[in-house]
Amino acid sequence: MRAYVLKRLLLMIPTFFGISLVVFLVLNLAPGHPGGSQLASDLAASVKGAATDESHRIFREQFGLDRPVLLNTYLWLDREDVARALADMAGHEGATAADRIRAQQQIEDWGRWAVPHLVAEMNQSQEPLIRDVAVYTLRLASRRPLVDPFAPRPTPEQRAENQRRNAENEQVRSMRYALDAPEAEKERVIGEWNAWYAEAKPRFQPSGVDKLASFFLETRFARYWANLLRLDFGVSLVTREPVLETLIGKLRYSLSLSITSLLLGYLIALPIGIYSAVDKDSFADRSVTVFLFMLYSLPTFFVGTLLLFWFSEGSSVPWLRWFPIGGWQSPEAGELTSLAQMRDVTWHLVLPVLCMTYGSFAALSRYMRTGLLGVISSDYVRTARAKGLPERRVILSHAVRNGLLPVITLLAGLLPAILGGSVIVEVIFDVPGMGRWLIESIYQRDYNVIMATQLLSTLLVLFGILVSDLGYALVDPRIRYQ
Amino acid sequence: MSAAQELPLEALEAGAPDRLSYWALVRVQFGKNRPAVWGLWSVVGLFVLATAAPLIAMDKPFLWIGEEGLESPLLGALFNRLIFENGVDIFFNLLLVLSPLYLLAAVALRRAGRFGVRGAGALVAAHLALTTLVVPETWFGLENPLHHEAPVVDYRARQVELEKAGEPATALFPPRRIHYRETDPERSVQPPGGSLWLGTDVEGRDVFVRMLYGTRISLTIGVVAVGIYVWIGVVLGALAGYLGGWWDVIISRLIEVMICIPSFFLILTLVALVEDRSIFQVMVIIGVTSWTGVARLVRAEFLQQRELEYALAARALGLPRWRVIFRHILPNALGPVLVSATFGVASAILIESSLAFLGLGDPSVPSWGETLNVGRLEMKYWLIFAPGLAIFFVVSVFNLVGEGLRDALDPKLRT
C-alpha cells in the first residue's frame, strides 16, 4: 500500500508538469499584456523618456517577460532579423512609433544573441542612420543581466560578480553619441565598441552545450519552474505581495467551504440514494428522482441569487431575513468570544454551503441509487437474503459496500466541479476566497496569481483523485494496490 | 430477455423484424420514455421560438401600406447589418425566411424515402453554407453582394407622425414592437405590467424581448460548442484507441492532464484574456477545453471494437486506415458520444451563462446570464426569475433528452 501511494505520488509529477505547461502556454500565448492596462500605459510612457524605459525594462526582466515562452529560438537569430528590426527602429518604410518601440523591445529581448549581428551591422551597414541605431541598441543588448538580482540573501561571490557586471553595464551604457555628433566622435565610439567586442567576443560565441542549455533553460517556462522548485510562486503584479502567502490565506476560506459542502453532500446523498434504490419505483422514489433531477438542472448562480433574494438580510420578505447578505464574518467579529465567533462564521456559511452542496448532492444520490440498483439483484445479495439475514443487514452491510464504488469514483470528478463552482459562489456571497481572488486577478491580468491558483487547484484535484482511488481499495477488498 | 420479445408489434407485423436496425430500436425505446419525448419536443419548440423571434418582437412592421404602396420592412430588416449584425441572428433570420423551403425539401425527401440522418444533415449543411455566405462583409477581399446595409427607418415614429397628419398608414406590427438592443433610460428597472410582460433592466431594455432573443444565443452556444468538442474528442479518441502505441500514450497523457485542470478556471482565464471577445470565441473556448470526456469514451469504444470481427474484416479487405476508423468503427462507437453530447449541450449553456453572469460574456448579445447578473445586483424578482427559469428550463430539457437517450441505448434497461 505504501509503495503504491509512493508510486502514485511520483506519477503525479509528470502530470503536474504537463498541467503547468498547458496553463503556462495558455497564459503566455494569449493576446494582451500582463499587468493589463498598467503595462500598456508604461509602454506609452516609454516613448517619452529613458527613465520610464528603464523601469519598464526592469519590470519585464523581473517577471521574465523578456524571454521566449517555451523554447529559446533566439539561438537562430540571423542578421536579416536584426537588420529588419534596426530598419524599423530607424523609421524605414513607414514604420510607426509603435513599430519603433516594438523593434527596440525586440532587440532588448534578444539581448546577447543579437550582439554579434549588431556589431556586424554597425561596421558594415552602408547607411549612417542604421549604423547609429545599431550603436544605440548595442548598449541595450549587451547589458549583462545580474545573477539572481532578487535573492533575499546573496552570497559574497554573487555580490562581487554583480558589482562587476554593474560596472561593466555602466561602462557600456556610456558608449554612445548623439545623432548630431561630429563624425569623428562617432568613429571614436564605434572604435570603442569594436575594442569592447574583440575582448568580450568569446561570451557571444556559445558552445554547443551552452546552446542546448539555453535552448531549454533561457525561457520563461524554465524560469517559472526554477522558481517553483523553491516554492516561489512570484509576487502579485498588482499588490507586489508574495502570491503563495496570500493564496494560502485565501485557501482557508475556499477549502472550508468546499470540504464542508462535500461532506454534507455525501452525508445527505447516500441515505437518500440507498432509500430510493431499496424502495425502487415507489412513490417516494419517483418524487425523489424528479426532485433530484430538478436540483441537478438548476444553475448555481440562479440558486445563489435566489437564496440571497429570499433568505438574506436584503430579502424582500421581512420574516425570512435569517442570514447575512455575504462575507465571511460580521464586521464586529473581533470583539466576540471565540465561541460566538464560530457561531458568527457558521451563520455566514449557511447560504454559500447550501448553494455549493445542492448540485453535488443531487449527482451523488443519483449515482448511489444506480450503483446500489446494479448490485441489489446480484447473486451474493440473494445468498445473504437466503441465509435469513434481516433486510437491513443485507442492504447496509452487504449491498451498500459494492454500491458505493461509483460514488467514490465520482469524488474525483466532483472536485474540479466544486472548485470551479466556488468562483461563482464566492462572488455571489462575497467570500474572500481563492475563486474570487482568481477572477479579480483575471480581470487585472495578474499572471502570477492566475498561474498559482490554477496550479494549486489542480494539485488539490490530483490529491482528490488519489484519495478516491484509495477509497476504492478500502471499500472493495478485491482491489489490492501493489 | 431475448431480442424478439423486445421488438414492437408493428415491426413484427410488417414482417421484417431483422430489418429493424439498431437505431430504429433505440428510437422505439426512446419513444416509450414520456419525459424524454416531451423534452425532445421542447427542444424543437425552443428552436422554433428562436427562429420565429422577429415575428414576436421587432420594431419593424410585417406589412406597411404607406405612400409608396405595400412594403414589408421586417423582411428587409432581417438582413440589414445595421439592425442585426450578429452571425447568430443572421443564421436564425435566414432560417426563418427559408424555413418553408426547407420544409418542402424535407417532405420531398421523405416521399422519396431518403429523409434519414443524411438528408437532415444535408439540409443543415446547406443552411450553414448559406449563412457563411451571407455573414461576412467581404468575400476574399471582394464586397459581399449579400451583405446588406440600409438606412434604419423608425416606423413607429413615422406612424405617429402620419396619424397626427390625419392619414395613418396601415401597419401590421409584431406583438412587441421593440428591438432587443433598444435602450430607454426613462424606463430603467420597471416591474412587469401592461405591455412590459417581464419588465425592463437597468438600461431600460425589455426583458421579455431579451429572453426571447437569448434563446438563440443559448441554443447556438450549446450546439456549436458541443459540435466543436465532439469533433476534437472523436478524432483524438479514435486515433488513441485504434492506432494505440505512442498515439495512445500521448493522447491519454493529454487527456489526463486536461481532466485534472478545473475546466471552469481554464475557461474563465481564456475568455478573460481574449480582448473584445465575441460569442463565437466563447463557443470555441468552451469547445477546445471540454473534449476530454468524449475522447475517453471514444477511445474505450475503439479499444473494444477494433478487435471485433467486422473491424478485422474491414482491415483484411485492405481498406485505408481512415476508412476503417471513420466509416466502419465510428458509427458503432457513436451511441455513448450522442448521450454525452446531449448532456454537453446543457452544460455548455450553463457555462456560457455563468460567464455572462460573471461579466465575461459578449456584451453585444442578449445573454440570459447577463440579465441574471443585473438581477442579482438590483435584487428585482423579474430580473432574477425570468432568466433563471429560462436557463433552468433549457438545461433540464436537454438533460431529459440525454437521460432518455442513455436509457434507450442501454440494453440492460430495455423493457
Hey, is A255 helix, strand or coil? helix
Q: Specify the CATH number for the domain of residue B208.
A: 1.10.3720.10
Question: In chain A, which residue's Cα lies nearest the Cα of B262?
Answer: A416
A360 to chain B, any CB pair closer than 8 A? The answer is: no
Q: Tell if the CB–CB gap between B269 and A424 is shorter than 8 Å.
A: no
Phi, psi of A207, rounded to the nearest 5 degrees? -80, 175
Mean pLDDT of B227-233: 95
The residue assigned the cell 495558455 is A26
The Cα of A18 is separated from the nearest Cα of chain B by a number of Å equal to 6
The residue among B260, B296, B349, B406 with the most chain A CBs within 10 A of its CB, best to mutate, is B260
A235 to chain B, any CB pair closer than 8 A? The answer is: no
Q: Where is mean pLDDT largest: A155-159, A339-343, B15-19, B349-353?
A: B349-353
Read out DSSP for B134-180?
Answer: HS-SEETTEE-TT-B--PPP-HHHHHHHHHHTT-PPEEE--SB---T
Residues 367-406 of B with CB under 8 A from A: 369, 372-373, 375-376, 379, 381, 384, 387-388, 391-392, 395-396, 399-400, 403
A147 to chain B, any CB pair closer than 8 A? The answer is: no
Read out DSSP for A3-18?
Answer: HHHHHHHHHHHHHHHH
Confidence of residue B414 (pLDDT cuts 50, 70, 90): low
The size of the A-B interface in CB pairs under 8 A is 137
Q: Please state, in angstroms and rounded to a whole number, the distance separating the CA atoms of residues B369 and B390.
A: 10
Q: Is B150 left (phi over 0), alpha (psi -120 to 50) or beta?
A: beta
Mean pLDDT of A98-106: 75
Confidence of residue B352 (pLDDT cuts 50, 70, 90): very high
- A179, burial (CB in 10 Å: exposed 0-12, middle 13-18, buried 19+): exposed
Confidence of residue A228 (pLDDT cuts 50, 70, 90): confident
Q: Please state, in angstroms and rounded to a whole number, the distance separating the CA atoms of residues A374 and A361.
A: 20
Residue B404 lies in a domain: yes
Mean pLDDT of A222-235: 84
Range from A233-242, B200-209, B360-369 carrying the lowest mean pLDDT: A233-242
What digits encode the pLDDT tens for the residues B262-280?
888 888 888 888 877 889 9
Q: Which of B284, B286, B283, B279 is nearest to B264 (CA)?
A: B286
Confidence of residue B103 (pLDDT cuts 50, 70, 90): very high
Question: What is the model's pLDDT at position A122?
Answer: 77
If you average pLDDT over every residue of chain A, what do you get? Answer: 81
Angle at A301 between CA B340 and CA B49, to 5 degrees: 60
The Cα of A310 is separated from the nearest Cα of chain B by a number of Å equal to 10
Residues of B in contact with A458 (CB under 8 A): 260-262
A456 to chain B, any CB pair closer than 8 A? The answer is: no
Q: How far is CA A196 from CA A138, A142, A201, in A?
A: 11, 10, 8
Q: Which of A413, A441, A435, A415 is nearest to A304 (CA)?
A: A435
Q: Which three cell numbers stand for residue A338?
A: 471565540
Amino acid identity of residue A301, one-letter, is F
The Cα of B222 is separated from the nearest Cα of chain A by a number of Å equal to 15
Residue B269 lies in a domain: yes
Partners of B172 in beta bridges: B63
- B180, burial (CB in 10 Å: exposed 0-12, middle 13-18, buried 19+): buried
Residues in Cβ contact with B54 at an 8 Å cutoff, skipping those fewer than 6 apart: B74, B77, B78, B93, B96, B174
Hey, is B193 helix, strand or coil? strand
Q: Which of A177, A56, A37 is nearest to A109 (CA)?
A: A56
What digits encode the pLDDT tens for the residues B281-316?
999 999 999 999 999 999 999 998 888 999 999 999
Considering CB atoms only, which of A15, A305, A457 is closest to B376?
A305
- Judge whether residue A41 has pLDDT over 60: no
The residue among B269, B290, B347, B368 with the most chain A CBs within 10 A of its CB, best to mutate, is B269
Question: In chain B, which residue's Cα lies nearest the Cα of A293?
Answer: B396
Read out DSSP for A77-88?
Answer: --HHHHHHHHHH
Q: Tell if the CB–CB gap between A420 and B262 is shorter than 8 Å.
A: yes
Amino acid identity of residue B101, one-letter, is L
Q: Which three cell numbers stand for residue B367?
A: 445573454
Q: Which three cell numbers stand for residue B249?
A: 500514450
- Judge whether residue A85 has pLDDT over 90: no
- Judge whether residue A5 has pLDDT over 60: yes
Residues in Cβ contact with A287 at an 8 Å cutoff, skipping those fewer than 6 apart: none
Mean pLDDT of A35-52: 46
Q: Is B69 left (phi over 0), alpha (psi -120 to 50) or beta?
A: left
What residues make up the domain containing B364? 22-56+194-415
The Cα of B351 is separated from the nearest Cα of chain A by a number of Å equal to 9
Residue B322 lies in a domain: yes
Residues in Cβ contact with B91 at an 8 Å cutoff, skipping those fewer than 6 apart: B127, B128, B131, B135, B220
Question: What is the model's pLDDT at position A51?
Answer: 40
Residue B187 lies in a domain: no
Looking at the structure of chain B, the number of domains it has is 1
Residue B151 lies in a domain: no
Residue B112 lies in a domain: no
Q: Please state, in angstroms and rounded to a whole number, the distance separating the CA atoms of residues A305 and A325.
A: 11
Residues 341-360 of B with CB under 8 A from A: 346, 350, 353-354, 357-358
Q: Which three cell numbers stand for residue B316?
A: 483484411
Q: Which of A264, A350, A353 is nearest to A312 (CA)?
A: A350
Phi, psi of A337, rounded to the nearest 5 degrees? -70, 165
The residue among A37, A39, A286, A301 with the most chain B CBs within 10 A of its CB, best to mutate, is A301
- Judge whether residue B214 has pLDDT over 90: yes
CA atoms within 13 A on the CB side of A205: 6
Question: What is the model's pLDDT at position B415?
Answer: 47
Residues 285-324 of A with CB under 8 A from B: 293-294, 296-302, 304-306, 308-309, 314, 316
The Cα of A2 is separated from the nearest Cα of chain B by a number of Å equal to 23
Answer positive or negative: Cα dihedral of A398, A402, A403, A409. Answer: positive
Q: Please state, in angstroms and rounded to a whole number, the distance separating the CA atoms of residues B368 and B391.
A: 7
Q: Please state, in angstroms and rounded to a whole number, the distance separating the CA atoms of residues A310 and B387.
A: 17
Largest CA distance in chain B: 84
Find how far residue B76's CA is from the centre of its chain.
25
- Is this model's pTM higher than 0.90 or not? no
Residue B153 lies in a domain: no
Answer positive or negative: Cα dihedral of B267, B273, B274, B277. Answer: positive
Find how far residue A39's CA is from the centre of its chain.
20
Q: Please state, in angstroms and rounded to a whole number, the distance separating the CA atoms of residues B192 and A288.
A: 34
Q: Return the higher-pLDDT residue of B8 and A411.
A: A411
- Judge whether residue A89 has pLDDT over 70: yes
Q: Which three cell numbers stand for residue B248?
A: 495512445
Q: Tell if the CB–CB gap between A443 and B379 is shorter than 8 Å.
A: no
Question: What is the model's pLDDT at position A149?
Answer: 66
Residue B314 lies in a domain: yes
Residues of B in contact with A439 (CB under 8 A): 268, 358
Amino acid identity of residue B127, one-letter, is H
Q: Tell if the CB–CB gap between A420 and B263 is shorter than 8 Å.
A: yes
